[in-house]
Structure 1
Amino acid sequence: MNVLAIDFGSSYSTCCAVVNGKTISINVDPHSKSPERLRSSVFFHFRDRELPLPAAELVNAKISEMKTEIGTRLDTAKEEYFATNKPDEQQRIERRINQLRGEFHDNVTLQRKAIAILMRDKTIDKLTLDELVEHGDAILGELGFSDYLKQPDKGRLIYSPKNFLAADISGHEDAFATLVAKTLSHIKHAAEQQTGETFTHAILGRPVQYHSTRGESGNQQAITIMAQAAQQAGFSGTVKFLEEPIAAAYAVEQSLVEPKDVLVVDLGGGTSDFCIIRLVPNRGNDRLTVFSVNGIRLGGLEADKALIMHQIAPQLGLNTRTKQGSVIPKAYFYDAIAVDSIPTITSFFSDKYGGEIARTLSVAEEPEKLERLLTIQEERLSERLINSARLAKEMLSNQDEGITLPLKYIEDDFTVPMTQQDLDKAMQGWLHKMLLQIKTCLSQSSVTPTHIMLTGGMSLSPVVRKAIKENYPQFELIENQAFTSVVNGLANSVLES
């Protein structure tokens, strides 16, 4: 049975095909320098097309509002008619009454006017997710992200769909399923093109805890959406799910020569998962033994935000004051980087929010700094800023010397110097949360692991590795492929089933 293994990640997605008992790595993004990884963001582009017409319920509500207004004018005209005894005046009012009655009953004209009024105030920012998914051109991966950076006013970027699946999205579950299906369908098509095979069965990785504050109900909602998306993408057969840290364990199990109890730390883009598991080479059909497992809404995106708040936001006005002595609201800066919250980032990009920043700027002690924040708001540069922080984090992780981060898209000659020490300080809160989760995982296990396996993009960070080594020097490190261990493990789990 041919099966497609897919690691649908917060930052990137990867795929491995299982065909006739063998695994085949799939290139999923021909536009990327790393074609085996597909950036998870989706850009809904409207190019030069007209925006979709307003929903029928909105049009009907506007027609009802217009009829109420006509009815009020009609009642006023009738009162005027009976209040005068002048024949000429009565004739004039009677003509107006007949005209108003005609307008009241002319549903075709009322509908056309209602649509025109609604469209006049309609912008891409005000489109619902359902409208984006139904009417926008979905551009995936590096091509979509590049298009967004070039012309952000031509569409909307959903930075990390996975991060929304367990949130309170009541009424929009189908839209998110369709959104995810676009990525799964793209991956399925790539696999079928490269292998010449057809895939109707899939196994998908899932975090222990999805990016949410809703606990198990959020997890169940996310799984339901993912299953629905897989069906829409053409997986009409069996669709299974496997927790990502357990999948990562499968990836290294066969490389061992003897059984080992291992702490698996999977640090992804949006979530981090932890488990203690017994790995047994040549295990045969015996199931993996899992001693404890837990997860948290913590990933690379939160680290990027922490670096922005610590090192960049002060140059945008954070911790500065107005001339009256009031501190500039911190909410401005948190909202500016809330790319994983559709309501928050939509509000931040609104004219109303821009007006509030502009009014604060007019009384700011250091207006030149807040001017940069206003530029980010007006030109919708939040995702680009997050991307810059991610690049800075990666550069600082790969060299001992400091860097100068160019942010010329915000202001000519605007740069921010950063050192390894700056990154260390920015990451302290993030590291504390991670270490607390490791402690919890260890306390819930009946065995003490002898080894540790780090996987996921954030596991490559020297800051992260240093913190874990300092706190748990007794664990021997098992090396693995940080970006592909989960998808390879998913494929291996198929071969062993």
Structure 2
Amino acid sequence: MPPQSTAAEQSAPVSVGIDFGTSNTVVAFAHADGRTEALNFEHGGQGLNHFVTALCFWDERRPGKSTIRVEGGPWAIEQFVEATTAFRFIQSFKSFAASATFQETRIFRERFRFEDLLATFLNTLVKHADGRLDLSAANLVIGRPVTFAGRQPDDDLAMRRYQTAFERLGVVNPTYVYEPVGAAFFYARQLERDATVLVADFGGGTSDFSIMRFEQVAGQLKAEPLAHSGIGIAGDAFDYSIVDRIVSPRLGKGGRFRSFDKELSIPNHYYANLARWHQLALMKTNGDLKGLQDLAKVAVEPEKLEKFIEIIEFDMGFALYSAVSRAKIALSSQDETEFRFAGGDIEITAGLKRRDFERWIAGDVARIEASLDEGLKRANTRAEEIERVFLTGGTSFVPAIRRLFAERFGEERLVTTDQFESIAYGLALIGQDKQKERWEVRKAA
């Protein structure tokens, strides 16, 4: 049960939590009496509690005039799917937050740094909130991963970029909190006694762990963070394992082409773009599409490359990854399923067994387990001392992940939810804590 609030606390302003995710972003409000609610977006006749982390830029041409337009969230995907003019679609850009090698990207005639993309995205979110979200006036708590995605991530760089982007929207002195800490605050309201808790948050780009001690003191729930750990591996990497084994070979990966009197391997770098579906659109402008078209003329199996070319030309990446997601979800409850993707003249079908999928992701699961071990070590806590384990995020339903935690901590201690809003709810609740600075992550220098 949430702690009782005083009359003074009940007069406190609403606090806002923002869970800026790799795949989806959620905004939540918390009231002084412990009530929480997610910001709802109306799109296509549906109410959505999450805002897809995506941007679509397009060049709107009129006689004598050209204007660059932009949309975010589900409206970005809608524009992407229905585009009839030149466009640039960007998704999962959170993955570049801590990358020193990512300096900028060109979008038509303009240069965009990471902070430009984030500020633009946030502006589209505020626009579609229809006046219900004023970041400049908010008691704002912003989530961040324990470990940012990417090779050699620079946390200070990522935080400077976050701060710059939010400052542009008038945000004054926000509080930054680790995402799994937010989830822990939300789940802790279920606790009926003092407990040491592990929260495992599986997003699209990162897997993060927080170990916390919760105690009731004078009728109020108190929490002490013991340790945090994380790794830049999660749902996106699992999706790519299916693409790499099922889809890519049917699009020419591992094939050969003729060059004079020799046969050579088709370069694998073309297939790296299949790691995320939106990257396929970039192949139209970076020279890769032209390279594939040239290779198809001399390939031993040209029909496979022609399928790859068709997927790129007709922007089928979104539909392809939707098929991947359906197959992965099916394997959470079935030992085998059929992967099926159809679009235009292309049809890819293949049997997919859970045991094969688990073999493909075994290395990533081992690295996730090593990160978990590091968190327990930092907390100086043994697995048997963890009294409750809260699992959040879609990847927590992957049986191999569930089994990892059941074997380490016991099935009876696990609590799993598919509630997208749990992190944002917890972040907003932290905003109501009079000592919220205890949970704040060090800001960038």
TM-score normalized by the length of structure 1: 0.73
Letter in 1 for 2:165: A
Stretch deviating more after TM superposition (153-162 or 324-333): 324-333
Does residue 211 of the first structure (1) align with residue 149 of the second (2)? Answer: yes
Code of the aligned partner of 1:396: L
| Match of residue 143 from structure 1 | 75
Q: Give the whole-Å Cα distance in 2 for the aligned partners of 1:272 and 1:400.
A: 25
Per the alignment, do residues 402 and 212 of structure 1 end up closer, same or farther by CA in structure 2, a change over 3 Å counting?
Answer: closer
Equivalent residue for 2:115?
177
SS at match of 1:149: helix
Q: 1:351, CA displacement in angstroms? A: 6.3
Choose between structure 1 and 2: higher helix proportion: 1
- Shift of the 326–208 alpha-carbon distance from structure 1 to 2, 3 Å rule, reads same
- The 3-state SS of whatever aligns with 2:142 is strand
Task: Mark the CA change 1:469 to 1:198 in structure 2 (over 3 Å): closer, same or farther.
Answer: same
Per-residue deviation, residues 69-101 of structure 1 (Å, max 9, x unmatched): xxxxxxxxxxxxxxxxxxxxxxxxxxxxxxxxx
| Match among 483, 486, 491 for residue 420 of structure 2 | 483
Q: Report the Cα offset of residue 388 of structure 1.
A: 3.1
Counterparts in 2 of 1:29 and 1:51: CA distance versus 1, 3 Å: farther
Cα 1:176–1:365 change in 2 (3 A) is: same
Q: Does 1:431 align with 2:394?
A: no
Q: Which residue of 2 aligns with 1:331?
A: 269
Contact residue 292 and residue 309 of structure 2 kept, 8 A: yes
Paired AA for residue 170 in structure 1: Q
Larger deviation, residues 163-172 vs 244-253 = 163-172
Residue 35 of structure 1 aligns to which amino acid in structure 2? L
SS in 2 for 1:483: coil
Shift of 1:31: 1.5
Give the whole-Å Cα distance in 1 for the aligned partners of 2:310 and 2:54.
23
Q: What is the aligned partner in structure 2 of residue 466 from structure 1? A: 403
Say whether 1:289 aligns with 2:224: yes
Distance 2:149 2:294 in 1: 35
Which secondary structure state, in structure 2, belongs to the residue aligned with residue 444 of structure 1? Answer: helix
Partners of 1:174 and 1:225 within 8 A in 2: no
SS of match in other structure, 2:230:
strand
The letter for the 1-side match of 2:243 is: I
3-state secondary structure, aligned to 1:212: coil
Structure 1 pair 355–194 and aligned structure 2 pair: CA distance change class (3 A): closer
Shift of 1:387: 3.6
Q: Distance in 2 between matches of 1:340 and 1:31?
A: 21
Q: Distance in 2 between matches of 1:23 and 1:136?
A: 41
Instruction: Give the aligned partner of residue 313 of structure 2.
Output: 378
1:220-259 counterparts in 2 under 5 A?
220-235=156-171, 237-259=172-194
Count of residues paired in the alignment: 409
Please provide the CA RMSD for this pair. Answer: 3.2
Distance 1:432 1:189, change over 3 A: same
1:37 aligns with 2:50: yes
Aligned with residue 91 of structure 2, among 159, 167, 175: 159
Higher strand proportion (structure 1 or 2): 2
Distance 1:308 1:471, change over 3 A: farther
Q: 1:6 aligns with which of 10, 18, 22?
A: 18
1:356 aligned partner: 291
- Mapped to 2, the partners of 1:455 and 1:15 lie a distance apart of 17
Cα displacement (A) at 1:495: 2.2
CA–CA separation in structure 1 for the residues paired with 2:182 and 2:329: 25
- The residue that corresponds to 1:268 in the other structure is 203
Structure 1 CA distance, aligned partners of 2:38 and 2:277?
29
Out of 408, 411, 414, the position equivalent to 2:343 is 408
Give the distance between the partners of 2:287 and 2:121, measured in 1 at CA: 34
Q: In 2, Cα distance between the equivalents of 1:52 and 1:424?
A: 53
1:38-68, CA deviations, whole angstroms, 9 ceiling, x for partnerless residues? Answer: 1111111224358999xxxxxxxxxxxxxxx
Q: Which structure has the bigger radius of gyration?
A: 1
SS in 1 for 2:150: coil
Report the AA paired with residue 462 of structure 1.
P
Tell me, yes or no, if the aligned pair for 2:31 and 2:432 is still in contact at 8 Å: no
Call closer, same or farther: CA 1:282–1:257 in 2, change over 3 Å.
farther
Task: Write the mapping of 1:420-459 to structure 2, written as runs, cut at 5 A.
Answer: 420-448=354-382, 449-459=386-396
What are structure 2's unaligned runs of at least 5 residues?
1-12, 106-110, 435-445
Q: What is the Cα deviation at residue 187 of structure 1?
A: 4.0
Contact 1:209 1:294 in 2 (8 A): yes
- Percent identity for Structure 1 against Structure 2: 23
Tell me if 1:394 matches 2:329. yes
Q: Distance in 2 between matches of 1:358 and 1:196?
A: 49
Q: State the SS of the aligned residue for 1:302.
A: helix
Provide the secondary structure at the position in 2 that maps to 1:280. strand
Q: CA-to-partner distance for each residue in 1:230-256, whole Å, 9 max, x for gaps?
A: 232343x33111001111111111211
Q: Give the aligned residue type for 2:24.
A: Y
Structure 1 residue 220 displacement after superposition: 1.8
1:269 counterpart SS class: coil
Aligned counterpart in structure 2 of residue 18 of structure 1, from 27, 30, 34: 30
| Conservation of the 8 A alpha-carbon contact between 1:43 and 1:156 | yes
8 Å CA contact retained: 1:152, 1:380: no
Distance 1:4 1:483 in 2: 16
1:492 aligns with 2:429: yes
Contact 1:338 1:345 in 2 (8 A): no
Where does the alignment leave 5 or more consecutive residues of structure 1 unmatched? 54-134
Is 1:309 matched up with 2:244? yes
Cα distance in 2 for partners of 1:152, 1:428 equals 42
CA contact (8 A) 1:337 1:382 kept: no
In structure 2, the CA distance between the partners of 1:142 and 1:196, relative to structure 1 (3 Å rule), is: closer
Match of 1:202 among 111, 124, 140: 140
Conserved? CA contact 1:252–1:480, under 8 Å: no
- Per-residue deviation, 1:261: 1.4
Q: Aligned partners of 1:149, 1:277: CA distance in 2, in Å?
A: 43
Instruction: Give the direction of change, closer, same or farther, for the CA distance of 1:321–1:396 in structure 2 (3 Å limit).
Output: same
Pick closer, same or farther for the CA change 1:146–1:353 going to 2, 3 Å: same
